Chain A
Amino acid sequence: MKTRLLALAVVVVLAVLVAPAGAFAHASLRDPSPGYRERLAAGPAAVVLRFDQAVTVFPDSIVVLDARGRIFSDQAASGADPRIVLAPVRTLPRGAYTVRWHVLSADGHPVAGVYTFGVQVAAPPPTEAFGASGPTRAEDVVRWAYFLSLSLVVGGLGFALLVLRGMPPVLSRRLYKLIGLGIVATLEVGVLAFIMRAEGALQLPFAKLLYADLTPIASGTRIGSAFTAMTMGFVVVSVLVYLAWLLDRVVFLWPAFLLALGLASGLSLSGHQAADLGSSRATELADWIHLSAALLWVGGLAVLALCVWPLARDLRRDAFLRFSRLATLLIAALLGAGIYLSIVRLPALDDLWTTRYGQVLVLKISLVSFALLWGAFHHFIARRALVERKPSSWTGRLGTTLVGEASIAMGILLVAAILVNSRPPG
C-alpha cells in the first residue's frame, strides 16, 4: 500500500512538472517604446511596454516625467494583448524624459523599472533620471571596500611576481589566501555597488527593489558596463589564480595580474572621471596609472606586513629592499598622474578651499604627504640599515611601522573613494 502511494505521488509530481507552462520567471519587460535612451525626432503619442507574460495594470503603472518632474502621461491601461501596457502622453517639448513604471506580474510579484528617452536631445543614463539620487555615504564606503579588495588582488599578485619573483613555499599558502580573499571581495562588493547605484536610480523600497528591472542600468550606463566587464574579468582572474594554486604553475599568475591591472581602469570609467568636463583619453590614462600605482603600493605594503614579516624571516631583507625600489617608481607615477589630474579638474587654485571636491582633495593630499613622510623614513633610515646589515631598534620594529604605513594608505583610499564619487567643479 505504501509503495503504491509513493508511486502515485511520484507520478503526480512528474505529471505536474512535465506539463509545459510558464515557470521560474517574473514578468520581464521585453520591448519598450520609446526604447531605452532612444533619441526621438518628435514626442511619442504613448509609452507602450510589452512584457513577456500577462501583467496586471494600475492607473499609475506608467509615469512620464520631464527633467523638472512635471508629469506628461495620462492613466495607464492594458492593451488588447494582456502583455501590453500603454499610457497616452501629452505633447512633449524638446528635452529629456524619465519613464517610471510598475506592474503586477502574473506570479504575484510587483515588477518595476525606470528608463529615459530624449526628444530632439540625447537621453541621460537612467542613473541620472528624474528623481534619481547621487552616490550616498554608504556608496563611498562600498567603493572604499572595492579599492581595498582590488589592492589585495593587484598588490598581492604584483608583489608575488615583481618582488618575490614567484611563490616561495613558506608564503604560498597565506599569499594565495590573501589574493583569494581579495578576488571574492571584489566580486561581492562589485555586485553590491551595482545594486546600490541601481537603487539610487530606481528609488524603490527594498521589497520592490528585489523585483526591479535592472536591465536599463546594466546595459545603458557606465557603471553597468564597468560592472559587466569587471565581474567577468575577475571571474577569469579567479580561475587563473585557482589553476596556479592547483597545478603549482606560477605562470598562470602573469595573465591574472595583467588582467586585474587592466580591469582597474573600469573603476576610472565608472566614476565621474570619464564624464566630467575636461575628460579625455589622457585623463583616463592618468587616472588608470594613478589608481594602479596606488593599488600596487597599498597591496604590496599589506603583503609585506601580513605575509613576509610574520612568516618569512629569511626573505624580509630582500623583499623589503626590492619592494622599496618598486615603491619609489609607484610613488613617482602616483604623484605625477595625481598632480596632472588635479590641475585638469581644478583649474583655479581657490577651488581647493571653496569647493567640496577641492576640500576633499586637500584632505587626500594631507594624508598622502603624511604617508610619504612615513615612506621616506622606511626608504632613508630603515632601508639603509638593512642594506648595511646594521640591526637597530628601528629595524626590529619594521613589522609594526609597515602596518602603520599600510593603514594610512588604506585611509587615503577611503578619501579617494569619496573623491571619485564627487563631482569636480565646472
Chain B
Amino acid sequence: MQPEAEFVHWLFATGFLVLGICLLAESIVGPEVWGRNPWRPHLWPGAMFVMGICMWPVMILFTNSTIHMVAHSAWAQVLMLSGGAELALARGKLTSRYWHLTVGLALIVSGAASLVHEQNAWLFSRSAFVHHALGWVMVGGAIFPIARTFRPRSFVLGAGFAATFLVVSVLLYSHRDVADIFGHLSPVAGAPHR
C-alpha cells in the first residue's frame, strides 16, 4: 500500500512549518526567554530528528524510481544527523558550537539532492519549477544556520533561518496533484496530466 505522494509532502510540509514557527518564535523572544521552559529548546531539534525517522518509511514505500529512493535516503540521514546534533547540544551532551553546522550541511545536501533530482529547466513544468525553487531555497538558506553558528544572537540570521523552513513548507504544500487547473509551463513537457 502506497500513500499518495502529495499527502506525504503535505505531512513533511507540516513538519517544516512547525520547525519554522518554533525558530521564528525563538528569534523574536530571544534564546533566554525561549529557554525558560526546559522542554522548549528540545522542541524543534526533536521534531527534526523525528522527521528524519519518518523519512525512512517514505524511502521504503516510494521505490518508483531509484533517484527518489536515494534522495529520500539522503534527506532521512541529514535530518536525523542535524536533529540529533541539535538535540544533543540542547541537552548539553555536545558542547562544541561547530555542531550547529550540521543543519547547514543538511540544507546543502537536501537542496543539492532536489536540484540533482531535477534534470529539466526551471520553466519546463511545475514539477521542475518546484524542484528548482526548493533546491535553491535550501542551498541559499544554508547560509543562515552556518552564519548563526558564529553569531547566535543575531535576529536577522535567526529569522532568516526560520524563513527558510517556512518557504520550504510553502513549496511542499504547493504539491497538489488532484486537479488540472495549472499544467506544464512548456508545451514540450506534454499534455497536462491527472
Contacts and interface: CB of A to CB of B under 8 A. Distances in A.
A25 interface: yes
B176 A211 contact: no
Nearest to B93: A246
- 3 closest Cβ pairs, A-B complex: A19-B182, A53-B193, A17-B174
Contacts of B68: 26
B60 to A, nearest CB: 5
8 contacts: A21-B181, A29-B64, A107-B124, A108-B124, A214-B64, A232-B57, A235-B76, A242-B84
A75 B93 CA distance: 64
Contact of A214 (B5, B9, B63): B63
A213 B65 contact: yes
Given A22-B193, A53-B193, A106-B193, A218 B175 contact: no
A191 interface: yes
B128 A212 contact: no
Nearest to A216: B63
Interface of A: 13-14, 16-26, 28-29, 52-54, 56, 82-83, 106-109, 111, 184, 187, 191, 195, 198, 209-215, 217-219, 228, 231-232, 235, 238-239, 242, 245-246
Contacts of B70: 191, 195
Most buried by B among A14, A21, A53, A191: A21
A127 B59 CA distance: 20
B77 interface: yes
A215 B65 CA distance: 8
Interface string B172-194: 00111111111110001111111
Contact of A21 (B5, B120, B126): B126
Contact of B66 (A14, A22, A198): A198
A201 to B, nearest CB: 12
A74 to B, nearest CB: 25
Contact of A211 (B6, B66, B87, B190): B66
Q: How large is the interface on B (under 10, 10 to 19, 20 to 34, 35 or more residues)?
A: 35 or more
Contacts of B84: 242, 246
Contacts of B171: 17
B151 interface: no
A16 B182 contact: yes
Interface string B72-114: 0100110010001001100101000000000000000000000
Nearest to B9: A24
B129 interface: yes
Contacts of A184: 77
Contacts of B53: 235, 239
Contacts of B119: 108-109
B125 interface: yes
Contacts of A82: 191, 193
Contacts of B93: 245-246
Contact of A191 (B73, B87, B120, B191): B73
A37 to B, nearest CB: 16
A107 B181 contact: no
Contacts of B131: 24
B170 interface: yes
Nearest to A192: B70
Contact of A108 (B181, B182, B183, B189): B189
Most buried by A among B73, B131, B183, B193: B193
Nearest to B193: A53
Nearest to B186: A108
Interface string B1-33: 000011001000000000000000000000000
Contact of B63 (A56, A111, A215, A246): A215
A232 B60 contact: yes
B56 interface: yes
